[in-house]
Amino acid sequence: MASKKKNNPLPPCPTTPNCIRVSRDLEAGLEQVCERLMLLFEEEAHEFEVIDPKRIELHAVYRIPVFGFKDDVDVIMEEAEGVTTVHIRSASRLGAYDLGVNKRRVKRIFRKLNSKISD
């Protein structure tokens, strides 16, 4: 579901194409979305941590196979009237190009979140 124009609290991406910052609304409560996202990070990310449990802020590190480069994924979630807005920023730590890895990762995260929430 596309979200209305919301103020994304995550830092803007640089002008290089190795970063994506997206906000989407999900028709589910904050607790459910947070639980699903943490399970997803446990399965996929190299490591993750809850930065601020009151604000529901998560940080995950993904490691690119073969080369071992690290990408940072930051998430902030907000709930209003049963709809949770998920703000995600995925960025490469090194280099100016990521060959679309961050964009595909964010699409995959939202696709998996949507499918797990509908289960």
In this predicted structure, what is the pLDDT of residue 77? 95
**What residues pair up with 88 in beta bridges, in sequence order?**
22, 75
The one-letter amino acid at 90: S
In this predicted structure, what is the pLDDT of residue 3? 42
Domain residue spans of the chain: 19-118
In this predicted structure, what is the pLDDT of residue 90? 97
Q: Quickly state the pLDDT bin for 119 (edges 50, 70, 90).
A: low
Q: Is the pLDDT of residue 2 over 70?
A: no
In this predicted structure, what is the pLDDT of residue 6? 67
- CA torsion, ordered 86, 78, 58, 14, to nearest 10 deg: 60
In this predicted structure, what is the pLDDT of residue 64? 79
83-111 pLDDT, tens per residue?
A: 999 999 999 998 888 888 999 999 999 99
26-83 pLDDT, tens per residue?
A: 999 998 999 999 999 999 998 999 887 667 899 999 997 777 789 999 999 999 988 9
Model pTM greater than 0.75?
A: yes
Q: Give me the CATH topology for the region 19-118.
A: Alpha-D-Glucose-1,6-Bisphosphate; Chain A, domain 4 (3.30.530)
In this predicted structure, what is the pLDDT of residue 55? 74
Q: Comparing C-alpha atoms, which of 109, 97, 106 is closest to residue 20?
A: 106
Q: Which two tokens stand for residue 69?
A: 């480069």
Mean pLDDT to the nearest integer, 8-33: 93
CA atoms within 13 Å, Cβ hemisphere of 53: 4
DSSP 28-88: S-HHHHHHHHHHHHHHH-SEEEEEETTTTEEEEEEE-TTT--EEEEEEEEEEETTEEEEEE
